[in-house]
Amino acid sequence: MVHEKQHYVNGAWVDPLEPFLLDVIDPSTEEPFTGIAVGGPKDVDRAVTAARAAFPVYSRTTPQERLELLRSILAEYERRRSDLAEVLCREMGAPLQFAQEWQSAPIDLVSMINVLQQYRFDELQGSTKIVREPIGVAGLITPWNWPIGQIMMKVAPALAAGCTMVLKPSEVAPLNAIIWSEVMHAAGVPKGVYNMVQGEGAVVGEALSAHAGVDMMSFTGSTRAGIQVACSAARTVKRVAQELGGKSANILLPDVDFTKAVANGVLKVMRNSGQACSAPTRMFVPADRHDEVKAIARATAETLVVGDVRDPRTNLGPVVNEAQFNKVQRLIQGGIDEGAELITGGLGRPSHLKRGYFVRPTVFANVRNDMLIAREEIFGPVLSILPYRDEQEAIELANDTVYGLAAYVQSSDLAHARRVAARLRAGTVHLNYPGLDRCAPVGGYKQSGNGRENGRWGLEEYLEVKAVLGYEVQ
């Protein structure tokens, strides 16, 4: 890789105007293995200027032209996918096999191609024409936990809508964004349409959010950081679309097959080392089945292999960095201190690992909904099991959170599961662990954000609506 010390602006790799080097740490070794140049407000201004200059021409391209561009990007992406998997393994600690099969999968790019093929940007309503037009320059801030997937989830609909953009990827896992920018260049994205500035959220993210030349912000990350983005964007009345934190409930109804439902729930929490905002981290179970659930959960968690991310037998790599490791340890200690029952895992690394930010797969039982581990987003491989007396209590407890990103319901009676789902305050409800639907909208209620990504809903976040009255003569 040759572009770590540069940004991508106006169709070219450029040196930063405000150079500052930041180490990139391998979380498996705790050692830096390269560095990137992070920018500042002047770099952001240069990128926004390029995006604004490119907007008048790109915004007038046809949907078919944009469709062909997305297809070219997909073809180039497939050529670089193995490079991306290697980088994700190194910079964020994803097991290589997981990075190859899931982290680097271009499903959101493919999904947006399918959406664009069918989407209608205008319609006639009586004598009025309703037109959907690109909103302008989009500022995109992406996280480190699903880094390349989140980049695709924002860049693809922005391109499909006819917007130009400036991307600020996570400085914690930044190298995948460099490869993505190389893909964009090789695919022939017009100059200024796509720009990328590396940097820290408090500097580059703040400058991008506050910039008067940016028409909307799309942010994925913590609720704390999302509040800062919204405050900065409010000064210029930007649209803000956000996907923020989560503390998702997983309600197991009494009629479910507990052996399967509990095991699948544990695995979904532990996936990606627990670093998923929609993970079902609060498992609600009937009180009279609590001991049975504990045994299944313990047995499942103890089958997981934590360690060498290049070993195909490994299920969990490290969490992404020291700060995240320390946060997870603090919250595990908090669960112990508050009297939750630790049934497996706990503090520290697995005993066979002497370095790296590895966390033991941890399960707490007899958790109350007012405990710290049931309130805070841990973002690590930690499950809380909460007993409930009846269905009404389960629903009330599930909704008793500041978050509302996702929820899960397990029942052998689908009609029953649907009735419970209707009462849950969450942007996505999963019934009986369904497969992926990348055209379904993703987003949250309450402090889990606003706006939606994926499918036509994701595309429409980047569109303005114009009404042309008198378009047809009556």
What CATH number has the domain bearing residue 118? 3.40.605.10
Pairing of strands 21-26, 239-243: unpaired
> Is the same domain home to 230 and 322?
no
In sequence order, the β-bridge partners of residue 138 are: 165, 216
The total number of structural domains in the chain stands at 2
Pairing of strands 362-365, 382-388: parallel
pLDDT for 18 equals: 83
Tens digits of per-residue pLDDT, 393-439?
999 999 999 999 999 999 999 999 999 999 999 999 999 999 989 89
Rg (CA), the chain: 23
d(CA 439, CA 416): 25
- Taking every pair of Cα atoms in the chain, the longest distance, rounded to a whole number of angstroms, is 78
% pLDDT > 70, the chain: 100
> Is the same domain home to 145 and 237?
yes
> Is the same domain home to 223 and 266?
no
HSE of 373, CA atoms in CB hemisphere, 13 A: 33
pLDDT for 2 equals: 86
Can you list the residues of the chain whose pLDDT is less than 50? none
> Is the same domain home to 50 and 94?
yes
Residue 219 structure tokens: 């942010």
> Is the same domain home to 287 and 188?
no
Which of 136, 154, 160, 155 lies closest to 213 in space, CA to CA? 136
> Is the same domain home to 215 and 265?
no
**In a domain? residue 412:** yes
Which of 121, 139, 193 lies closest to 459 in space, CA to CA? 121
Task: Please report, for the chain, how many H helices and E strands are present, in that order.
Answer: 15, 20
Which of 230, 84, 241 lies closest to 154 in space, CA to CA? 241
> Is the same domain home to 192 and 95?
yes
**In a domain? residue 474:** no
> Is the same domain home to 427 and 455?
no
- Please state at what angle helix 290-301 crosses helix 258-270, rounded to 10 degrees: 50
Structural domain boundaries enclosing 427:
249-443
**In a domain? residue 473:** no
User: What CATH number is given to the structural domain containing 367?
Assistant: 3.40.309.10
Which string of DSSP letters, residue by residue, matches 5-35? T-EEETTEEE--SS--EEEEEETTTTEEEEE
pLDDT for 19 equals: 80
**In a domain? residue 137:** yes
Q: Is the Cβ–Cβ distance between 357 and 93 less than 8 Å?
A: yes
**In a domain? residue 411:** yes
Mean pLDDT of the residues in the chain: 97
d(CA 330, CA 316): 20
Give the catalytic positions in this structure: 243, 277
Tens digits of per-residue pLDDT, 138-190?
999 999 999 999 999 999 999 999 999 999 999 999 999 999 999 999 999 99
pLDDT for 474 equals: 79
Residue 433 structure tokens: 């662990």
Cβ-based neighbours of 167, under 8 Å, separated by 6 or more: 140, 141, 142, 151, 154, 155, 177, 194, 195, 196, 197
pLDDT for 276 equals: 96
- Please state at what angle helix 175-186 crosses helix 63-92, rounded to 10 degrees: 150
> Is the same domain home to 238 and 336?
no
* Residue whose entry in the numeric block shows the structure tokens 């106006």: 10
pLDDT for 1 equals: 67
> Is the same domain home to 427 and 279?
yes
**In a domain? residue 1:** no
Residue 285 structure tokens: 């179970």
> Is the same domain home to 259 and 237?
no
**In a domain? residue 385:** yes
In sequence order, the β-bridge partners of residue 449 are: 243
**In a domain? residue 307:** yes
Which of 308, 291, 388, 387 lies closest to 343 in space, CA to CA? 291
pTM (predicted TM-score): 0.97
> Is the same domain home to 70 and 196?
yes
